[in-house]
Structure 1
Amino acid sequence: MRQSYSIDLIAIMFSVGCLPLMFLASLPSDKQWYLIGSLLVILSLFRLIKMGNVLLAINVLGLGFLWSTQYANQYLNSIEPYIDKTLVVTAQVDTIDTHLDSAERSAYYIKFSVIDIADSDLSSTFPLSVLWSDRLTPKAGQIWQLTVKTRVVHGYLNEGGFDSQRFAMANKNLLTAKLINANLLDDKLSLRQTVADRALPYINLFSYRGILLALVLSDRSQLVEQQRLMMMQTGIAHLMAISGMHILIVFYFSFFIIKLMTFVIPQRGNNIIVISLVAWGGALFYAWLTGLNPPALRAILALTIWIYLRYRCYHLTSWQKVNRIIAILLVFDPFMILSESFWLSCYAVICLIFLSQWLPLPKFSRRKKRYYLFRLLHLQFGLTVLLLPMQLLIFQGISVISLLTNLLAIPCITLVTFPAILIALLASIFDLFHLALWWWYVAETSLSGLFYGLAQFNLGWLTVPADFYLLSVSGWLLVIVIRTECWRRFNLTVGIILLMLACPLLQPINYQWRLDMLDVGHGLAIVIHDGRGAILYDTGAQWQTGSAAERVIIPFLQRHRLTVEGIIISHQHNDHIGGLAFITRRYPKAWLMSSSNQLANRYPCLAGNSFSWQNLTFNVLWPTKLVDNAQNQDSCVVQVTDGQFSVLLTGDLERKQEYQLVLNYRHKLASTFLQTPHHGSNTSSSYPFLYHINPKLSFVSTSRYNGWKLPSDKVTERYKTLKLDYHVTAKTGQISLFFNNSTWQMKTMRGQINPKWYHDWFGSLPIYE
């Protein structure tokens, strides 16, 4: 018993030791790492003299910390030599070609495994996503010689937005590349591509081919946007992404089929362990077919460990199994601790165990048909409530009808759609035409019926502000209170707990007003707000598959519970006005100001005009006339002031207009803060203009790897010469200014708002080559 306790203690303390990888602002230096290691050695010597679980726990905790941080350091060191380099590599194609007409597609990303680099020693393979533009289409298994220009993955970094840097680190897929030249060395296809080629002629016949491809090959690139949005809003998107649930279904499906076959085998061959191993092989084949993506790899590892524990250890509780599985997974790959899907999977299993042990379903007679309905309702309702904290932390919201839609979708997918897909896939592999076509049709029909039902319930997505996140643990507390019946004796304690949960809602706003320059890549979006209402200065760019308004601005506004009351558009270039239509649809009551007479302005942006909003004064300095199509020289220049501090917003103003402003206003231009004109281009930021403004802080919005190499080196040097503090969103992420009566404070997403070691690593890299 003592040995079992020690193993469980070792497992949980090792996992806890890996947790700092989520929160550390920076990784320990070599000196710090060796110092911690030395202390652990000393503690180990003490433990040899005096046995104790406390010393054991401290040692294993430190070991987990050292292992995870060193793993991260080693990985970054192995990647850094290949960033921003022109390389000649030999690489094998990993991405299965699933498109109907690949030759006519525009540029798209293909994942390769680099197996050799010219003039360099490569200790191990690493993944590389190449932006493919060659007329030939790579297929999985082929080996190519590529000349590429590498880049590190880059993405926006804002409050409320998706953290693509953490996602890339968790999946160890940091490098992308632009293709310069490609030569096919070996056209032999992998078994995965061969299997896909046998299934694709059937899949391509159906309207739900995007979902079929997602469930068969884990290829989500062809999901229709309308279907993707409906799955997200109804809370069933998790069923369409390959995860532990799908691996487990394949295992049990294989187990059931093999068990049926054993009826014709002599009893001595009917060994449960052998059947389990063969079923495990079926699950492994499916995980391999989907590309062994991180969730599938975690699932197959967890299944392997579970089978071993199941048939070797006879007295382990569910908690012990989960504890040991998590620890072993983190030994294999500590970066799993950064993965949201890893947390969701582990958390869901923990919720199931907690629900079954603390709030079990009352025992109904199993002969009653309603028993299974009650069981499903109990399970789904319990999971919905207990999963709320993780749901809000990861997705910042919930589907308001996920309970109903999952009651419809889970039986449909697990009992009909997915088994039909598995049978159809096997029939396709063995070229059983009629059988394959029939089962693909069954899968398609089930999806058609499911989405028809979802459309009737689709009431949208409820975004929950961060202040409400603590309330989400009420479900856990409710289960504990009901189970322990502490409300009978400790109702005062229960009241205090409820009051503590409500405290975040009562917290006062700790600033009078705030300005946030959001990280929208090459573009501009600034939010001025008082914690309730907001005014936008520009709305970022729009592109073919979305806009900065959808991906950055709206999530930021929702996280802070802000309502847009007004929008100022500096000029009509896409990177400034691209998100206007989307914003006005979400906030139809917001007024508009611009220097274009073609837009529906409530307030024209003309020099001399001014207005007040929430103790702030907005003074318009430029332009002197409205135009039909506002360009850089017509940028709406606004000085925002609270009487003590002021911010000059300049859009893409150019040098000639800067000179005119100096002539018109001279020392009235003086501002505490400056939005650097034209993203730091050399066409702006003239010496006289900067001299008369004399800002304490300047900030520029631009993207990493932008084609214009902004901010310009000449402009950067100009700011240094004038000793002006200067910050760039490509390095800092979101830049936020907080104002009070007589003080101001600047915070950046990478520096103070959400400092993480991986953010720090991305931020230390050059903005452009």
Structure 2
Amino acid sequence: MSSAKDPRKITDLYCHPRASTRGSTIWAIVCRQTTKRIIFHILVFVFGFSWALIYSHWVVTWSLPEELEGKKILITGYIAAPPIDKAHRVSFEFQTSSISGEKKKTRIKLSWYGEHPKINAGDKWQLLVRLKRPHGVLNPGGFDSEKHLLVHHIRATGYVFNTELNRVLASNLRYYPLARLRQYLINRMDQVLTSNELSSVIIAFVTGAEDRITQQQWRVMRDTGTSYLVAISGLHIGLVASLIFIFVQFLWKFSSRLPLHLPAREAGVIAGLVVGFIYAAVSGFSIPTQRALVMLVMFSFVILLRRYTQSWNAWLWSLFLVLIINPLAVLTIGFWLSFVAVAAIIYVSSGRIRQKTSYLRKFWRMQLTVTIALLPLTLLFFQQFSLITIIANMIAMPAVCLVIVPLSLFGVLFLLIPGNFGCWILWCSVKLLHIIWWWLTFLANFANCSWYHPVYNWWILFAASIGAVLLLAPRGLPAKYIGLLWLSPLFFYTPDAPKVNDFWITLLDVGQGLAAVVQTKNHILLYDTGPSFFEQDAGASIVNPYLHTLGIKAIDTMVVSHGDADHSGGARSILNTFPAANVLTSVPEKFTPYIAKRCASGQRWQWDGVNFQMLFPPQNSKLRGNNASCVLKISSGKNAILLPGDIERISEDLLTANYGIDLKSTVLVAPHHGSATSSTAALVKLVAPRYVVFATGYKNRFHFPSKEVVDKYMKINAKLLNTAKTGAIIFKFSNKSDILNVSLYREQERRFWHYNKDYK
């Protein structure tokens, strides 16, 4: 019998003292390597955290001194980007050289209203301005403008006074040459395509300037899931670079000498990289294009260095470099969408058995992969998902990225050369875009083409992400279709709602205006709709996203207190999105073709044990304007809230005379935003609120709330809240107890870039 088969000898072999020493040595080496890896990862984490902290501190280290806010100050500096021309105003980014006589380099955003001289990028100006610190409205589901300003390094906003002090100090081509080139191309394309409704989209394809795209055009792209096509990113730069790569590689092979000096493949890579860099430059090196360019450079260098590397390594290095260049990139939506999309494509295409399939099938597979991978993030960021996105992109994506964008870039190139050839090419590209736009508009007109459903909390996002990973796993994985179970909370979870006899009210932060959402167990009431401002309104940008966040499908009653734009400006946007069973207002004539009833005292109803009573204006009243505001009282048990609109002394006297102590409420929304023309002593005494809410804009030009009014409420020891300082305010009431909860959104979602001076 051989020793290998003798159990005793095998035992002796492993029990030998040398074998034990050898095993200990191997174990020590493994432990040492593991320890090194752990230490390395800890050091990388510390380095990354420290770099992000240092970078963020460098961005926010300077803030506009509080004593300069709202004051007229003289500044000098340069127009740092192409100006954005809108009706009645022009907006632009300004790189300061001095502020109020002191040297200071920082970037601010300015608007110039009314008549103004021509603004050219790169020119040095002296301007008389009024500035304020970065501050925006803050609401659940809404856009965080303070975060947006931080990411773009903008440290103040303001507007220019029309005065003789404003003048051009210098105009030199060596200052901001790239911004000058972009402005020239935008203006030139605008001239060539001036009468075409889709010229704004072509300009966005080439330069990334999205400011000319109309709200209707955004709606079509949003409903068809094609908004990403106008945001120059990795898709555009990657495909354009790929086309150049294929074209140059093809031509290179026809030469007998060139391949001897440089292989055709590497020549194509270099040409694609150069064109990608030029495209990124024309788009202004925006954050998405920076990210795309880094990824392009990373993958190009792998080919040029003739080294094999796994796709995951290239992806991780790209992620690392993007975060080194700008750690604040993680605060942008595009960062997450682009890296997750690329990761999903690598995940489904690497390390799997390759099967011969048609290009069409591969395209469908990639579309389905990206759609599933981005579903949780899409609902998290936008609260909606296009149900026709795959059908729309089947034609739109290849047509735009492979034909229209390259053709537009080719046309712009020839615009720099005398002649009309570039104009003809741009005309062809916009005609092709019309065909694609017809297809997108046709699909967008289908009812219920978008699914509105928010991600209510982080554990749902986590579960849905695991579900997406499992569903995209290789065939044959036993747990693959368990992914559907992990995705189920995304579809079936419902948020908390008030109980019977309870009601919740959210006073949204809409700036200088008012919008309040009232929830009972089974009903929704909206009181006022926020202001309208130029091309936008609070209905579309604030109220609708908040209602989507709640999972609301329809409004039971909308009350618009009166016709002023700061209270009724968002009404049409809301009614176009959410059907309203009942509309009450003091100005029903403004709501044609919608059916609206006139509000009047005596109207009352009950929902889920909660009482709603219209107190004002009187029946057949001849009052108009602010004094005709609909005054609504909502009560349950001992708790009540009074919503008085913009009534002033005349109406307040009538109200106190008619209702007396019946006006008593736990919460009062200050009449007319705290104006000195409202909040009479009689009203304050009879309502006797514990909480008073001022719905005002930050540093508003009316200086609301009035100090006189604030003093009146302080004398009765009411707690004062201002939406400009707190963001959205949520009160939760019960008929059995005191206020259940008061949530201040700015405090609840506190971030280092938010204005957080105080909440009172």
The TM-score range, normalised by the shorter chain, is 0.7 to 0.9
State the partner residue of 2:696: 702
Contact 2:464 2:489 in 1 (8 A): no
- Does residue 717 of structure 2 align to residue 730 of structure 1? no
* 1:232-261 CA distance string (max 9 Å, x none): 211111111211222223333443454455
- Does residue 459 of structure 2 align to residue 464 of structure 1? no
**Structure 1 pair 663–152 and aligned structure 2 pair: CA distance change class (3 A):** same
State the partner residue of 1:535: 525
- Does residue 493 of structure 2 align to residue 504 of structure 1? yes
Q: Identify which of 149, 154, 175 aligns with 1:168.
A: 149
| 1:314 Cα offset (Å) | 2.7
State the partner residue of 1:68: 52
- Does residue 746 of structure 2 align to residue 757 of structure 1? no
State the partner residue of 1:3: none
Higher-Rg member (1/2): 2
Q: Which shows bigger deviation, 724-733 or 554-563?
A: 554-563
* 1:626-671 CA distance string (max 9 Å, x none): 3366322232222211113111111112234334444443333221
**Structure 1 pair 510–167 and aligned structure 2 pair: CA distance change class (3 A):** farther
| 1:482 Cα offset (Å) | 5.6
State the partner residue of 2:346: 353
* 1:663-697 CA distance string (max 9 Å, x none): 44333322111111110111122333223322221
Q: Identify which of 259, 276, 283 aligns with 1:290.
A: 283
Q: Identify which of 109, 113, 120 aligns with 2:95.
A: 113
Separation in 1, partners of 2:619, 2:454: 41
Mapping for residues 256-275 of structure 1, pairs under 5 Å? 256-259=246-249, 262=252, 263-264=254-255, 266-271=258-263, 273=266
- Does residue 434 of structure 2 align to residue 452 of structure 1? no
Contact 2:136 2:146 in 1 (8 A): yes
* 1:176-231 CA distance string (max 9 Å, x none): 22113421123345351455565554343644211111112222222244333212
Q: Identify which of 428, 445, 465 aligns with 1:442.
A: 428
Letter in 1 for 2:455: A
**Structure 1 pair 97–589 and aligned structure 2 pair: CA distance change class (3 A):** closer
Letter in 1 for 2:727: G
Mapping for residues 283-682 of structure 1, pairs under 5 Å? 283-312=276-305, 314-357=307-350, 362-364=355-357, 371-434=358-421, 436-458=422-444, 459=446, 460-467=449-456, 470=461, 472-473=464-465, 476-479=468-471, 483=475, 485-487=477-479, 497=486, 504-505=493-494, 512-530=502-520, 532-562=522-552, 563-595=554-586, 605-627=599-621, 630-682=624-676
* 1:35-78 CA distance string (max 9 Å, x none): xxxxxxxxxxxx99995333333333233223223322332122
Q: SS of 1:653's equivalent?
A: coil
Contact 1:596 1:627 in 2 (8 A): no
Separation in 1, partners of 2:217, 2:587: 38
Separation in 2, partners of 1:384, 1:494: 15
**Structure 1 pair 595–763 and aligned structure 2 pair: CA distance change class (3 A):** same
Separation in 1, partners of 2:537, 2:489: 39
Q: Which shows bigger deviation, 738-747 or 228-237?
A: 738-747
Separation in 2, partners of 1:269, 1:52: 44
Structure 1 residue runs of 5 or longer lacking an equivalent are: 1-46, 365-370
Separation in 2, partners of 1:498, 1:389: 9
Q: Identify which of 229, 249, 272 aligns with 2:219.
A: 229
- Identity within the alignment, %: 25
- Does residue 201 of structure 2 align to residue 211 of structure 1? yes
Q: SS of 1:617's equivalent?
A: strand
Q: SS of 2:103's equivalent?
A: coil
| 1:542 Cα offset (Å) | 3.2
Contact 1:623 1:634 in 2 (8 A): yes
Contact 2:240 2:402 in 1 (8 A): no
**Structure 1 pair 607–415 and aligned structure 2 pair: CA distance change class (3 A):** closer
Separation in 2, partners of 1:701, 1:690: 17
Separation in 2, partners of 1:90, 1:277: 41
Separation in 1, partners of 2:390, 2:284: 31
Contact 1:638 1:649 in 2 (8 A): yes
Contact 1:131 1:176 in 2 (8 A): no
Separation in 2, partners of 1:295, 1:588: 37
State the partner residue of 1:33: none
State the partner residue of 1:748: 744
**Structure 1 pair 127–324 and aligned structure 2 pair: CA distance change class (3 A):** farther
| 1:531 Cα offset (Å) | 5.1
Contact 1:605 1:620 in 2 (8 A): yes
Letter in 2 for 1:572: G
* 1:83-134 CA distance string (max 9 Å, x none): 55544333222333687xx9xx521212233244463233x45353343545
Q: Which shows bigger deviation, 422-431 or 469-478?
A: 469-478
| 1:432 Cα offset (Å) | 4.6
**Structure 1 pair 199–397 and aligned structure 2 pair: CA distance change class (3 A):** closer
**Structure 1 pair 588–204 and aligned structure 2 pair: CA distance change class (3 A):** closer
| 1:734 Cα offset (Å) | 1.0
**Structure 1 pair 125–622 and aligned structure 2 pair: CA distance change class (3 A):** closer
State the partner residue of 1:156: 137
State the partner residue of 1:90: 76
TM-score, structure 1 normalization: 0.83
| 1:362 Cα offset (Å) | 3.4
Separation in 2, partners of 1:576, 1:625: 22
Q: SS of 2:154's equivalent?
A: coil
Q: SS of 1:131's equivalent?
A: strand
Separation in 2, partners of 1:134, 1:498: 55
**Structure 1 pair 359–643 and aligned structure 2 pair: CA distance change class (3 A):** farther
* 1:356-392 CA distance string (max 9 Å, x none): 237777333xxxxxx0111111111121111101111
| 1:341 Cα offset (Å) | 1.2
Separation in 2, partners of 1:745, 1:146: 47
TM-score, structure 2 normalization: 0.84
| 1:349 Cα offset (Å) | 0.9
Contact 2:694 2:722 in 1 (8 A): yes
> Which structure has more RCO (C-alpha within 8 Å, separation ≥ 6)?
1
Q: SS of 1:204's equivalent?
A: coil
